[in-house]
Amino acid sequence: MVRNSGEIDGKRFDVAILGGGLGGLQCGYILAKNGLNVCVIEKNPLAGGCLQSFRRRGAGDTICEFDTGLHYVGGLDEGQPLNRLFSYFGLLDLPWQKMDPEGFDEVIINGKSYLFANGHNEFAERMTEYFPHEKENILKYTALLKKVGESLPKSLSPKSSEDVYTGSLFAESAHKYLTETIGDPLLREVLSGTSLKMELSRNLPLYTFAQINNSFIESAYRLQGGGNMVTEKLIEGIEGFGGSVAVNCEVTSFAGNEIIINNIHKVEANKIISDLHPAATMNLASESAGIRKVYRNRINRLENTFGMFTANIALKPCTVKYHNRNRYIHKLGQGRSLWDASDNYAAHPTEMTSVLASYYNSPDSSPANQEYTDRIDLLTPMSWNEVEQFQQSSVGKRDRRYNELKEAKLEQVLDFVEEQLPQLRGNIERVYTSTPLTYMNYTATAQGSAYGIKKDCSNLMLTLLTPKTPVPNLFLTGQNLNLHGILGVSMTSFFTSAHIIGMENAVKGLEF
């Protein structure tokens, strides 16, 4: 049973986990499975963080369920990394739907389409069809992706250290690698075209770029149903092992072994794991927590990746065809590159160059309607500068100007995708929009960042965080450490747990 603050008041736990996002729940699962008395503490009515889904009215009297962050996952075929991780967490029996292996992603640059195929050989062959003069370079690139994917199990070996995981490829620039390896500038843009899974910058570590792209090239799946299904399974597992999950419990401060919830209740824990953004963690740590000012300042100065504007669109029935792939739509001017995106959004926050269109396929729709989608999400990067002036407001009580900003942004997005989705605008039933401010309010992520702290291959000591902190009993987990995304966060949850129970115990039962 999910608990509330009153039920855990005065209790003591082996481990208390601040934040019930994917990383927090997975750490709770691993530690509870190893016999520790664990409590995951979540401020919202529902745990899950970016896994949360929400229900809104669709066409007529129908109810549509939209995801906030889980649009698809990579590496879920048998024997692949996420498959093995999800097997450990009991998540494989959820209704995963394989995306089109002939084209799970479609990159559209200035109106021209390029399909990404599953499988390293198939991917290389498809890219070679588009760029025959780059065959050898495409094979080099694909070989690197495969090598990175094959190295993942080594990082979780009890005989290895995290250096295997955060090794030399983290210190190399992905942009530099592509520039030196791929001769055709357009091919470089195409290979970078699924960029809304990460923020491209000239100092993005090559490991981050390769690991994320590789996992989806291995295989790609959607979840037929909301991301809350993942949350519910993890909570079920935690409670089955004797652990607890407490919701509506906002941590207002902590120090030593003591955690204050909702300014009233108190719990104690031998160890504390924070799944919150590190800056939010520092804000909650009282002066007596023993965190030196130099460490606090280091964390608070870290730069965050950009956030997202999202339009969750409910459609009129049987009007828009379903695509079993994601479509990345880009419009680049002469001499412009996707790798300039982060700088462009900082300098020109209202400029739009990329939109991701993600389709839903309702598992309960009739066979006659399977060729159509009733929902579509449109996502585009959005600068914090655009919404910063409204940050003191709360959900449902925004300034009129904020709603006008969202309406204008929606029109801009619809205009942007008009050429590729000409049937969309006229068949919209309802639209629900969100911004980085929405994301910040619900997940406590600094500036509503989509991918957490920005990693810099030229400054790893500063931007690449480890689970350990200067406080002996305080640890970090989640997307802000090594890697973001479902696979990255899942890996990190084992690294964090290993600092408490040892890697040999953490991975027991994980078939790698």
Query: Do the Cβ atoms of 24 and 18 come closer than 8 Å?
Result: yes
What angle, rounded to 10 degrees, do the helices at 174-181 and 135-155 form?
Answer: 150
Q: What is the pTM of this model?
A: 0.93
- Residue 428 DSSP SS3: strand
What are the structural domains of the chain?
5-52+228-302+459-506 (3.50.50.60)
Q: b/e per residue, 70-86, with b = 16+ CB within 10 A?
A: bbbbbbbbeebbbbbbb
Burial of 319 (0-12, 13-18, 19+ CB in 10 A): middle
Tens of pLDDT, residue by residue, the chain (512 residues): 467 767 888 899 999 999 999 999 999 999 999 999 999 999 988 887 877 766 666 556 676 667 777 789 999 999 999 999 999 999 999 999 999 999 999 999 999 999 999 999 999 999 999 999 999 999 999 999 999 998 887 788 776 554 544 458 888 999 999 999 999 999 999 999 998 899 999 999 999 999 999 999 999 999 887 888 999 999 999 999 999 999 999 999 999 899 999 999 999 999 999 999 999 999 898 877 778 888 888 888 899 999 999 999 988 988 898 899 999 999 988 878 999 876 666 666 667 788 888 887 765 554 445 688 888 989 999 989 899 999 888 777 888 999 999 999 999 999 999 999 999 999 999 899 999 998 888 877 888 898 989 999 888 877 888 899 989 899 999 998 888 889 999 999 999 999 999 999 999 988 76
Place of tokens 């804000």: 283
Backbone phi, psi, residue 110, to 5° = 50, 40
- Residue 407 DSSP SS3: helix
